[in-house]
Amino acid sequence: MIEELRATLDRHAAQVTPQPDPYPRVVSRHHRRRRRVTAAIAAVAMLLVVAPGAWLLGRPQPYLPVAGPPPAALLPLLNSPTRGSLAADNAYIESLRQMAADLAMNDDSTGSRLPDDPAMIKVLFAGDIGARRIAVVASVDGKPLVAAFQGEPGDGADELKHSMLSMMEPALGTGFAMGSGNAERTFLLLGPVGAVYETAETRYTGTGVKRSWTRLDAPDGYVGIADLVGQQRFRVLTGGTVLYETEGGAAAAPGKPVTVDPQPAGGRGRPMPAAATQIAAGLATLTRLTGPDVTYRVLWSDEIDMPGTTTGRAAIVTVQAVTADGGGPYTTGTIDTGDGSYRDHPSGYGIAGDVEHSLLAMRLPWYQVESDHLQIVAPPAAVRAEVVRGAQTAEAALVNGVGGLAVPLGSQLTIRVYDAAGALLATLEYADRDKFGCDRFDPAACATGSPPPSGTESPTAAVTPTAVVTPTATR
Amino acid sequence: MPDDDFQAFVEQRYTALLRTAYLLCGSRDRAEDLLQNALAAALPKWRRMDHPEAYVRRIMVNQLANDWRRPIREIVTAVLPDRARHTGDAVEERDQLWSALRRLPVRMRAVLVLRYWEDRSEQETAQILGVTVGTVKSHSSRGLARLRELIEPGPSAALTTANGGN
pLDDT digits (tens, 9 = 90+) for A84-108: 999 999 999 999 998 888 877 655 4
Q: Which residues of A touch B68 (CB under 8 A)?
A: 161-163
CB A366 within 8 A of CB A385: no
Label residue A51 by pLDDT band (50, 70, 90). Answer: very low
Higher per-residue confidence, A14 vs A439 = A14
Give dist(CA A266, CA A402) in Å, integer: 10
Q: Are residues B81 and B99 in the same domain?
A: no
- Count the neighbouring beta carbons within 10 Å of the beta carbon of residue A204: 24
- Of B55, B88, B121, the residue at which a domain comes to its end is B88
Nearest to A106 among B36, B112, B135 (CB): B135
Label residue A458 by pLDDT band (50, 70, 90). Answer: very low
A56 pLDDT higher than 90: no
Give dist(CA B109, CA B25) in Å, integer: 9
Is B49 inside any structural domain?
Answer: yes
Give dist(CA A226, CA A466) in Å, integer: 8
Q: How many domains does chain B have?
A: 2
Is B26 inside any structural domain?
Answer: yes
Mean pLDDT of B134-150: 88
Q: CATH number of the domain that B46 lies in? A: 1.10.1740
Q: Are residues B132 and B112 in the same domain?
A: yes
In DSSP notation, A135-157 reads EEEEE-SSS-EEEEEEE-TT--G
Is B165 inside any structural domain?
Answer: no
In three-state secondary structure terms, A393 is strand
Q: Which residues of B touch A98 (CB under 8 A)?
A: none
Residues 106-125 of B with CB under 8 A from A: 107-108, 112-113, 116-117
Is B164 inside any structural domain?
Answer: no
Side by side, the strands of the sheet bearing A145-151 are A121-129, A132-139, A145-151, A161-167
Q: Is B33 on the interface with A (CB under 8 A)?
A: no
Helix axis angle, A22-47 to B4-25, nearest 10°: 70
Give dist(CA B133, CA B126) in Å, integer: 5
CB contact under 8 A, B117 and A13: yes
Q: Which residues of A touch B9 (CB under 8 A)?
A: none
CB B122 within 8 A of CB B97: no
Label residue B86 by pLDDT band (50, 70, 90). Answer: very low
pLDDT-wise least confident of A87-101, A400-414, B91-105: B91-105
- Of B88, B106, B132, the residue at which a domain comes to its end is B88
- Of B72, B88, B104, the residue at which a domain comes to its end is B88
Closest residue by Cα to residue A234 from A254, A221, A209, A216: A216
Q: Is B11 on the interface with A (CB under 8 A)?
A: yes
Higher per-residue confidence, B76 vs A131 = A131
At A115-141, the pLDDT tens digits run: 888 899 999 999 999 888 999 999 998
A392 pLDDT higher than 50: yes
At A175-187, the pLDDT tens digits run: 776 543 444 478 8
In three-state secondary structure terms, B49 is coil
Mean pLDDT of A258-275: 94
Nearest to B69 among A2, A5, A57 (CB): A57
Nearest to A5 among B11, B79, B116 (CB): B116
Is B10 inside any structural domain?
Answer: yes
Give dist(CA A459, CA B104) in Å, integer: 48
Strands (E), A59-167: 121-129, 132-139, 145-151, 161-167
Q: Are residues B41 and B57 in the same domain?
A: yes
**What does the DSSP 8-state code read for residue B14?**
H
Label residue A384 by pLDDT band (50, 70, 90). Answer: very high
CB A233 within 8 A of CB A247: yes
Q: CATH number of the domain that B110 lies in? A: 1.10.10.10
Percent of chain A scoring above 90 in pLDDT: 45
Q: Are residues B14 and B51 in the same domain?
A: yes
**What does the DSSP 8-state code read for residue B165?**
-
In DSSP notation, A218-287 reads -TTSEEEESS--SEEEEEEEETTEEEEEEEEE-PPPPSSPPPEE-SPGGG-B---HHHHHHHHHHHHHHH
Higher per-residue confidence, B153 vs A133 = A133
Q: What is the ipTM of this complex?
A: 0.77
| Chosen from A26, A56, A182 to mutate, greatest number of chain B CBs within 10 A | A26
Is B19 inside any structural domain?
Answer: yes
**Terminal C-alpha separation, chain A:** 62
Percent of chain A scoring above 70 in pLDDT: 81
Q: What is the least distance, in Å, from the CA of A155 to any CA of chain B?
A: 12
pLDDT-wise least confident of A3-12, A137-146, B128-137, B152-161: B152-161
Q: Are residues B79 and B124 in the same domain?
A: no
Which pairs with CB-CB distance under 8 Å and at least 24 residues apart come from B120-127? B127/B51, B127/B54
Domain encompassing residue B140:
95-154
B80 pLDDT higher than 70: no
Q: Are residues B77 and B8 in the same domain?
A: yes
Is B27 inside any structural domain?
Answer: yes
Q: Are residues B41 and B15 in the same domain?
A: yes
Q: Are residues B32 and B4 in the same domain?
A: yes
Q: Which residues of A touch B52 (CB under 8 A)?
A: none
Is B28 inside any structural domain?
Answer: yes
Q: Are residues B77 and B11 in the same domain?
A: yes
